[in-house]
Every structure is written in C-alpha cells, then in structure tokens.
C-alpha cells in the first residue's frame, strides 16, 4: 500500500506528534501490519488493516479488545505496574471510534508501539516454553475476575459439538468423493467422539467455567522486557469467552510437537514431555491459584482435546475438497491429518504422565500460596 494512503489513514487516529514514516512490519498471516514512526519524543504506533474475511464483525472485535485491555490496565495500575508497557493500548480515532473504515470498506486499528522489548519467533527449548506458559498464564490471571460479556468473534471456535455438526454434514455430502478411501481415518474420529463430547458437556453444564481466553497462544504474541520477563500478551483479535483450558491445550499442541504440524515423517512426531513440563510450570506459576479444581483436573486432557479437534478439521477439509486451509499438494490435508493423529496417539500414551506432572506442579504452587484445601 502507498505510503501516502497509509499516512492519510494514520492521521484519522489520535496520534501524538507528527508522522515521520510508515513502514511494513513483519509478515502477518491474517492482518496487514505497519509501524508509524513519529518525530520527536512521542510514542510510535502499530497500525493494522484487519482481515474482514476472518473477522466479519470488526467493531465487535475491537470492543472486546477495549474491554479486556481496560480491565488489565486497572489491574496493572492497582499493582503499581507500568500501564504503557504491561498492557496493549488501543488508540481511538479523531471521532472516538476504535477503528477507521476506509473507502474500500476495510477496517483499520491503531495501538501504541511498546519499545525495548524482546519477541521470539518460536519456542524451541524448555526455557522459552516456560516463558510462553507464563505469558499466557499471566494474561489469563489478570482477567480471572473479568465479568463483562464479550462477542463471539469466531463462531464455534473449539466447540466440539459445533465441529461434529460440521463433520456429519461433511461426511453426508462427501463433496470430493474421498470418503470411501478414508475408513481408517474416519474411525479415528468416531471412536473418540463420545469421550470428546463428555468433556464438552462439562463446559456446557458449567463444571468447567468460561473465562477470557487469548486463542492464539504462539510465543510471538507475548512481549518480554530486556531481562526476559513477561510484559504482556499482544494480538488480541481472537479474545473471547471460552474455557481457559483451550489456550493451554492449543499451546501444548504446538509447543511440544517434536515434528512439524504437517510432518511427512511420522517417526519424528511425538510429544516432548520436557517441553510439556516446562510450559505447564510457567502456566501454573501464574494460574494455579485462580483455576478451579475441575480446570486443574482436566488441564492435561485439554491438549488431547485440541489436538483431536485439529485432526478432525484437517480431515474434514480433505473430505470437503480442501476449501479452508491452504495446501501445498493435493494430499497436504491428509498429511496434516496423519501427523496430528500421530501426535494425539503420543499424548494418549503419555496421558497418565501428563496428569501427574500437572498435579505435582499445581500442588507446588498452591502450597506456596497456601491455597490448597
């Protein structure tokens, strides 16, 4: 996009100082992101064009972000923290909206750039796994007393009952004519259906509570200071009310896989127990005292649940004729299915060990805070 157009869009927001430059920042998979540099001793800013095909209701999404960041800001301020560094700051437009809609109908949003930070592209060792767990744990802990409603920006996200409705329709349609060659893979899904629904019923009846979740737990969505300590979570587009376990389970699915998500060599795909233990320790260091007994009890299972859901989604897309995920080859979604199923099987084999790790670490932090009862 032309610099002149970007400058014009940036000028619609309440920025301090004069704009010096606007440049592309990173290669986001979903949003187009730019950094706005200002002249003099004023903050710099992040400006994003939001992807309206992924997020059909950008105003509702931005309202979610405002509610959540306002709540965190109050918590940080009360604790004597730095509200300009420990929480994302959304910048309104000149007419006090949280977004600007341009002549093409695209939505733009601005936040304050947080300087002197460290971000990691991926967690490839136990130290970073622990930091990642701590980052998401801190985010959730700061919002554990949040009581306001939030919009559901992505319908049915991690809701397995919703996924099974889609799955049943997909099998019935058999759009790409592939169902006949997938008897084994379909059985992988069907043989675990009742177990996964039993877990989701605990969410539906309130045994496992709903709370604020991030829903994109990659380590590059956590900022650290120069000492390596957690500052804040960023990229809050997918913030919603859901089981806190969803964030944990999705993180474990990605952090602990010794292979790639679509690894063609299934021998490489296993769960790394040291990475699982490190992430769990970081997460529970922030969350143990604010999770319920049921959440701690089902924490390890959430990794199986989210990984199973991903097996289902990749296989469903293959049955549908590859209409959702981008593919690099005709069998790419099937390859993803097999790799994620191998990870699921590894988790199932190690499940008792995972549960024991959760129990031991939770006990450690609850004992430290005298909250065990």
**DSSP β-bridge partners for residue 240:** 213
Query: Which stretches within 37-123 are classed as H helix?
Result: 58-78
pLDDT at residue 15, rounded to an integer: 97
- Cα(304)–Cα(193) distance, rounded to whole angstroms? 12
Domain formed by 3-112, architecture: 2-Layer Sandwich (3.30)
Domain 137-368 sits in CATH 3.40.50.10260: no
pLDDT at residue 371, rounded to an integer: 57
The pLDDT tens digits for 203-262 are: 999 999 999 999 999 999 999 999 999 999 999 999 999 999 999 999 999 999 999 999
Q: What is the mean pLDDT of the chain?
A: 95
Over residues 36-49, the mean pLDDT reads 95
User: Is the pLDDT at 29 greater than 60, yes or no?
Assistant: no
Residue boundaries of the structural domains of the chain: 3-112, 137-368
Instruction: Considering only residues 29 and 92, tell me which one the structure prediction assigns the higher pLDDT.
Output: 92
Q: If DSSP codes are grouped into helix, strand and coil, which group holds residue 22?
A: strand
- Cα(340)–Cα(303) distance, rounded to whole angstroms? 12
- Listed ranges 52-66, 146-160, 167-181; the one with the highest mean pLDDT: 167-181
The pLDDT tens digits for 98-143 are: 999 999 999 999 999 999 999 998 899 999 999 999 999 999 999 9
The pLDDT tens digits for 326-363 are: 899 999 999 999 999 999 999 999 999 999 999 999 99
Is 0.85 surpassed by the pTM of this model?
yes
- Cα(287)–Cα(144) distance, rounded to whole angstroms? 9
32: pLDDT confidence band, cut at 50, 70 and 90?
A: confident
């Amino acid at each position: 996009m032309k610099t002149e157009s970007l400058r014009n869009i940036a000028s619609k927001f309440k920025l301090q100082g004069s704009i010096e430059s606007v440049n592309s920042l990173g290669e986001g998979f979903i949003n187009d992101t730019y950094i706005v540099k200002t002249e003099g001793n004023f903050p710099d800013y992040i400006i994003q064009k939001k992807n309206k095909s992924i997020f059909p209701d950008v105003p509702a999404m931005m309202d979610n972000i405002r509610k959540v960041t306002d709540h965190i800001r109050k918590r940080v301020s009360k604790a004597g923290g730095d509200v300009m560094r420990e929480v994302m700051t959304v910048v309104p437009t000149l007419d006090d909206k949280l977004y600007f809609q341009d002549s093409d109908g695209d939505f733009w949003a601005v936040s304050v750039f947080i300087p002197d930070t460290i971000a990691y592209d991926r967690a490839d060792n136990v130290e970073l796994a622990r930091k990642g767990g701590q980052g998401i744990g801190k985010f959730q802990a700061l919002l554990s007393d949040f009581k306001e409603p939030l919009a559901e920006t992505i319908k049915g996200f991690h809701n397995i009952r919703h996924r099974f409705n889609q799955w049943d329709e997909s099998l019935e349609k058999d759009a790409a004519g592939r169902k006949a060659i997938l008897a084994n893979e379909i059985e992988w899904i069907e043989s675990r259906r009742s177990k996964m629904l039993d877990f989701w019923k605990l969410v539906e009846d309130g045994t496992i509570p709903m709370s604020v979740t991030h829903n994109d737990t990659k380590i590059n969505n956590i900022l650290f200071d120069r000492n390596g300590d957690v500052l804040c979570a960023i990229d809050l587009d997918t913030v919603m009310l859901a089981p806190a376990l969803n964030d944990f389970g999705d993180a474990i699915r990605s952090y602990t896989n010794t292979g790639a998500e679509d690894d063609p060599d299934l021998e490489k795909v296993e769960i790394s127990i040291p990475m699982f233990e490190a992430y769990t320790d970081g997460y529970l260091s922030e969350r143990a005292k604010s999770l319920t007994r049921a959440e701690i009890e089902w924490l390890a299972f959430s990794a199986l649940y989210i990984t199973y859901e991903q097996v289902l989604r990749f296989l469903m897309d293959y049955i549908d004729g590859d209409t959702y995920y981008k593919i690099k080859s005709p069998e790419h979604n099937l390859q993803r299915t097999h790799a994620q199923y191998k990870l699921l099987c590894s988790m199932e084999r190690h499940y008792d060990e995972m549960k024991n790790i959760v129990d031991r670490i939770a006990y450690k932090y609850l004992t430290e805070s005298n909250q065990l009862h």
